[in-house]
Structure 1
Amino acid sequence: MSEQLQNVFQEYDIKFTTARASILEVLKVANSPLSYEQIKEKMSVTMDKATFYRNIAKFEELGMVHKFESDDRKWYFELSSTTHAHFICEQCHKITCMNVDIGNVEGEVTSIVLKGTCKACHS
């Protein structure tokens, strides 16, 4: 386990488990939000679905992870480093993180999802 990951467990004052560390390692290197199935494929340990969602719920409660539901009716997860928008292609369902300034919004924004057709599908 990396020192950076050890610091995360200390910072959020949560108990270290191999399941939690494995989930966070996958999310840490992800370039875009990942579904349960995508995370499960990349994890270094095996765990059942209930254990995964119990840990994800704990991460959400602590503000470590954000989730949103996509058109394919799956939940997608990412580390909550910043609040940003996501673009979902309605044809290929690819999810792209977008750098959108939401600084002038009153209140707490938890999810911004834009939908349309990506450049690859539009061609």
Structure 2
Amino acid sequence: MKIQKIFTDAGLRPTKARIAVLSTISEAPSALSHPEILDRLSNQKEFDRVTIYRVLDWLTEHHLIHKISGDNRAWKYQISQKQFSESFKPQQQLISTDHHHAHLHCKICGQITCVHELEPHFPAKILAQYQVSSIDINIKGVCANCADSIHHKN
């Protein structure tokens, strides 16, 4: 699916910066931090660090990407794979402000994978006391690729 079509289908204005940032994030094999995105767009001089921050905030606000708590309290940004499936309907995504799934985070390579099949469940009594807008669950370990390379070294 073309990046520009995601904006059009959602009724959002696709600017050059928004398209560049969303394309960069969508092409990455794992979640990216602001500095990583800035580095990947360094050949395009019109995108400075402030512009990238503003675009990331805008994309997050419109639920086209989501933030994941990375190492050293740095945010990483990722698009869920479901957003690029044929059944994805951007309007539905824009209505939902929930981010209720887990992330697998490799301690060696830093790859972050969304796990939509794992959702947290809390007692109704606890949730009645709070308006929960998002839940961030990070499961840290070693991905299959890194585990294989460790195994081959031994």
TM-score (norm 1): 0.74
Q: Which runs of 5+ in 1 are unaligned?
A: none
Q: What is the aligned-residue identity percentage?
A: 26
SS of 1:23's equivalent in the other structure is helix
CA contact (8 A) 1:71 1:93 kept: no
Which deviates more, 57-66 or 105-114?
105-114
Following superposition, the deviation at residue 28 of structure 1 comes to: 1.5
Does the alignment pair 1:42 with 2:58? no
Q: In the TM superposition, what are the counterparts of 1:6-85 in structure 2 within 5 Å?
A: 6-43=4-41, 45-46=44-45, 47-82=47-82, 84-85=101-102
Q: For the structure 1 residues 121 and 113, does the alpha-carbon distance in structure 2 shift closer, same or farther, using more than 3 Å as the test?
A: farther
CA deviations over 1:63-92 (Å, ceiling 9, x no partner)? 1110022122211001144565323344x3
Which deviates more, 18-27 or 35-44?
35-44
Q: Quick check: which one's helix share is greater?
A: 2
Counterpart in 2 of 1:113?
A: 138
Name the larger-Rg structure. 2
Q: Root-mean-square deviation (CA), in Å?
A: 2.9
Does the alignment pair 1:97 with 2:96? no
Equivalences, count: 120
CA contact (8 A) 2:68 2:78 kept: no
Following superposition, the deviation at residue 23 of structure 1 comes to: 0.4
